[in-house]
């Protein structure tokens, strides 16, 4: 089968012919139909400091995916050949302290598809049965592949109730765009976002944002305070991984407000925690992955009910052989989600 893999300690990937994997006990073999590019995959493509320390070469990459189950291993009970599934990419132990306290998303023995095990930029992939989420077969494969990142946005925005609350979302990359969509259908008002890329500013408007602020052209704090009549945003979701965005967002958050942090920062972050967090009485959530499985129920309900249309977030499609074009596009930022259509 064809697969995209990291084979050398340098920028880029390689397309390879490798054997089709065989499912072991409790595992299933999936014929991949679509697999989207995550920011993590871009880090691996660039071969930055984090990825060079984490990834063991060779590694088939990719994790946001959908496909058809074609073979099952021994003792698989709930998934059968022919099922159309999305995949939870966090492979957890179910035995550690976090798992036994129903916090599987922070499993102490976590393995991640496409990082610690071979991933979904391939014609076939093997995953544990419990990582499969069954979809209605009418759902387009490329949309089904976005259920995994949509889960990140759902947990970021809906850490607490947002109905009727003002919300600030910093960064309108794919996760920011998905977060805007979740906030919109969940009754937040006004929805304020920040972004410097004109392409993504227009996408944010398409997803239903009420105000988009360009921090290179205007003062974010002053604009948010004006929009919210001097109160500040009741909810702040940081998805950019930019230190300046974090600090401006904390400044613009209302006293007693809620903060959800999803963006990952390249290095240590420094800010005045006394004035910006403690003395404002802010509640902060760190968001990683999705809750297994409660978030999957929410994402499926939002998408399959028709309440949330995430198709505008998916802006480009490529074949596996076109991976260089896909990742070069991702580097420009002039895109939303980019997906490989496979098989």
Give the 3-state DSSP-derived string for 121-181, with helices as H, strands as E and coil as C.
CECEEEEEHHHEEECCCCCCHHHHCCHHHHHHHHHHHCCCCCCCCCEEEECCCHHHHHHHH
- Within a 13 Å sphere around the CA of 263, how many CA atoms are in the beta-carbon half? 25
CA distances from 156 to 238, 287, 291 (A): 9, 6, 11
pLDDT band at 343 (very low <50, low <70, confident <90, very high): confident
pLDDT (0 to 100) of residue 266: 85
The pLDDT tens digits of the residues spanning 32-83 come to: 999 999 999 999 999 998 899 999 999 999 999 999 999 999 999 999 999 9
Domain at 155-286, CATH from 1.10.287.40, 3.40.50.2000, 3.40.50.720, 3.50.50.60: 3.40.50.720
CA distances from 185 to 69, 142, 193, 232, 255 (A): 32, 21, 16, 21, 25
Residue 208 has pLDDT above 90, yes or no: yes
Give the residue numbers marked as catalytic: 40, 43
> Domain-by-domain residue ranges, the chain?
2-146+310-341, 155-286
The pLDDT tens digits of the residues spanning 290-304 come to: 999 999 999 999 999
Q: What are phi and psi of 294, to 5 degrees?
A: -60, -35
More confident site: 233 or 343: 233
The pLDDT tens digits of the residues spanning 261-274 come to: 999 998 899 999 99
Q: What are phi and psi of 78, to 5 degrees?
A: -105, -10
What's the mean pLDDT when you consider all of the chain? Answer: 97
Work out the burial of residue 295: count CB atoms within 10 Å of its CB; fewer than 13 is exposed, 13-18 middle, 19 or more buried.
Answer: buried
pLDDT band at 20 (very low <50, low <70, confident <90, very high): very high
Instruction: Classify domain 2-146+310-341 at the CATH topology level.
Output: Quinone Oxidoreductase; Chain A, domain 1 (3.90.180)
The pLDDT tens digits of the residues spanning 73-127 come to: 999 999 999 999 999 999 999 999 999 999 999 999 999 999 999 999 999 999 9
Residue 315 has pLDDT above 90, yes or no: yes
- Within a 13 Å sphere around the CA of 61, how many CA atoms are in the beta-carbon half? 31
């Amino acid at each position: 089968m064809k697969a995209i893999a990291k084979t050398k300690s340098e920028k880029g990937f390689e397309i390879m012919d490798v054997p089709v994997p065989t499912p072991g006990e409790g595992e299933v073999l999936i014929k991949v139909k679509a697999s989207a590019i995550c920011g993590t995959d871009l880090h691996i493509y660039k071969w930055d400091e984090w990825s060079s320390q984490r990834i063991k070469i060779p590694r088939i990459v990719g994790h946001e995916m959908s496909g058809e189950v074609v073979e099952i291993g021994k003792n698989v009970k709930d998934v059968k050949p022919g099922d159309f599934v999305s995949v939870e990419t966090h492979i957890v132990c179910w035995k550690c302290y976090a798992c036994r306290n129903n916090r599987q998303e922070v499993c102490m023995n976590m393995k991640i598809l496409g990082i610690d095990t071979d991933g979904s930029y391939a014609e076939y992939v093997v995953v544990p049965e419990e990582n499969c989420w069954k979809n209605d077969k009418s759902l387009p494969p490329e949309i089904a592949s976005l259920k995994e990142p949509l889960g990140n946005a759902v947990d970021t925005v809906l850490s607490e109730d947002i109905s009727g609350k003002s919300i600030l979302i910093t960064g309108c990359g794919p996760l920011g765009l998905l977060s805007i969509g979740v906030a919109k259908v969940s009754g937040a008002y006004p929805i304020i976002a920040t972004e410097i890329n004109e392409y993504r500013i227009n996408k944010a408007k398409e997803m239903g944002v009420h105000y988009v602020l360009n921090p290179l052209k205007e003062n974010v704090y002053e604009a948010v305070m004006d929009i919210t009549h001097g109160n500040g945003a009741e909810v702040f979701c940081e998805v950019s991984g930019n230190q300046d965005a974090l600090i401006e967002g904390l400044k613009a958050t209302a006293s007693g407000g809620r903060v959800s942090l999803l963006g990952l920062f390249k290095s240590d972050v420094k800010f005045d925690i006394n004035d910006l967090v403690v003395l404002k009485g802010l509640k902060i959530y760190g968001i990683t992955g999705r809750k297994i499985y409660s978030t999957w129920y929410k994402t499926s309900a939002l998408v399959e009910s028709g309440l949330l249309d995430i198709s505008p977030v998916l802006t480009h499609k490529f074949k596996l052989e076109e991976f260089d074009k896909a990742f070069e596009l991702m580097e420009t930022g002039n895109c939303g989600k980019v997906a490989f259509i496979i098989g």
